[in-house]
A and B are shown apart, each in its own frame.
Chain A
């Protein structure tokens, strides 16, 4: 496969980058690590006139404690840097657990947190060469007008295949987004739109600059479980992140469960907090939450694995992750 011809812009500041994005409109595309963007460019899923290389913007990298005890992780921090960060390791174990499963070490050395939070959605009918797609007349998301996954509907079901987003959802993370009118903050849960085509609430002239993890979620015990074909490198086919606060009597004080790779967005399981808070561990309770996770996840035939298996693993992972997190939570 070949790269589509394009120019590369190299802004030195966020303001400059945003100006280029605003001036170029749909012709511009941000590139950082390149692990998601470049293969997609080669498949001609995008044909931008200008690639905006944001790597030279130094202000976009750095893992720092900010006022009030929140942790700020720059959009350009690589996934390896996050896994290796003592600040993240000691305060937000669920994030380390999830990020350590993203692709393999080579991809994690290049891929950035901002990139992982803005991944392109994936589908069997979309992530294919131009030749392959053209032979089938395209799909709803690209070059066509029918969704081959759900032919009756007018909605794109390409899945959200990020691993860091569900973990960050369980930590009540916030995005920092820069645009022509300055910087804004947005809860991560509102960033994802659950639509395979318009996947994130980000304007064409905006870019993610950082992620904030609030001080109140420091120390939440958590972990991430992921289904994939090859355990060393693949995208998730289903994933569950769990974060709990458990007091010394074993009573749950705060709980979040999030699922990924089974919808066009990473989603919190809403019933989980309500049902778990104030309760002690019991297999029945955990099973009930696992059933709620299944109702939140709606896997369709968007990948090489069957929806039935992915759904079932969602239940197994939720049960397992809750049990493990609960046990770790008891001092």
Chain B
């Protein structure tokens, strides 16, 4: 199959890659762009390890054809915070034991990021529903829910610590 030149905007950067037109977004991210954060878990759209944000909506990159997402803003787990820094979501997972083997973690981080962007103060039930596409075989999920709650606190603390806007 002839390759096709496609243009993807990932983590704020535009990449041009030559790939077969049917190549999956997950494979382009991992193999062509070297972004190995998103993982292949189940390979049939039921585990959530491959989640990425497309225009702020979390989707499964293992059932997305890369060439169909050329107009979108794609964010992978590598792009949720500037290099060398951690997003409050990442801090929450690190401090509350939300990751054990770590394989499912990028998917959870992406879904948590999408949830908090829409609802900064979700209830426990809303957290459970938002993360119900993601499977974790290590933690038993309790630490993950605690991680999200800690992430909310840390995001609030950061917000409060910001200097007041000039002119007030």
Q: Which 8 A-B pairs have the closest CB atoms?
A: A104-B133, A106-B133, A232-B132, A38-B63, A5-B1, A39-B44, A8-B21, A34-B63
Given that A51-B65, A53-B65, A109-B57 are known contacts, is A3 also in contact with B129, CB under 8 Å in the complex?
no
- CB-CB under 8 A from B130, the residues of chain A are 105
**Are A104 and B68 interface neighbours, CB within 8 A?**
no
Decide yes or no whether B51 CB sits under 8 A from chain A: yes
B46 contacts which of A4, A33, A55, A233 (Cβ < 8 Å)?
A233
**Are A105 and B60 interface neighbours, CB within 8 A?**
no
Our count of residue pairs bridging A and B at CB distance below 8 angstroms stands at 85
**Are B133 and A3 interface neighbours, CB within 8 A?**
no
**Are B21 and A42 interface neighbours, CB within 8 A?**
no
**Are B65 and A31 interface neighbours, CB within 8 A?**
yes
> 1/0 contact trace for B28-71 toward A, CB 8 Å?
00000000000000011110100100000111101111011000
**Are B59 and A110 interface neighbours, CB within 8 A?**
yes
**Are B22 and A3 interface neighbours, CB within 8 A?**
yes
> 1/0 contact trace for B1-16 toward A, CB 8 Å?
1000000000000000
A–B pairs, 11, beta carbons within 8 Å: A3-B24, A7-B21, A7-B22, A8-B65, A34-B64, A38-B65, A39-B43, A53-B68, A103-B45, A105-B129, A109-B57
Total contacting residues, chain A, CB less than 8 A: 28
Decide yes or no whether B23 CB sits under 8 A from chain A: yes
Select from chain A the residue with minimum beta-carbon distance to B4: A8
**How far does the Cβ of B18 sit from chain A's closest Cβ, in whole Å?**
15
> 1/0 contact trace for A32-59 toward B, CB 8 Å?
0111001100100000000101010000
- CB-CB under 8 A from B57, the residues of chain A are 80, 109
Decide yes or no whether B111 CB sits under 8 A from chain A: yes
> 1/0 contact trace for A298-327 toward B, CB 8 Å?
000000000000000000000000000000
- CB-CB under 8 A from B129, the residues of chain A are 105
> 1/0 contact trace for B131-147 toward A, CB 8 Å?
01110000000000000
**Are A5 and B44 interface neighbours, CB within 8 A?**
no
Decide yes or no whether A67 CB sits under 8 A from chain B: no
**Are A109 and B22 interface neighbours, CB within 8 A?**
no
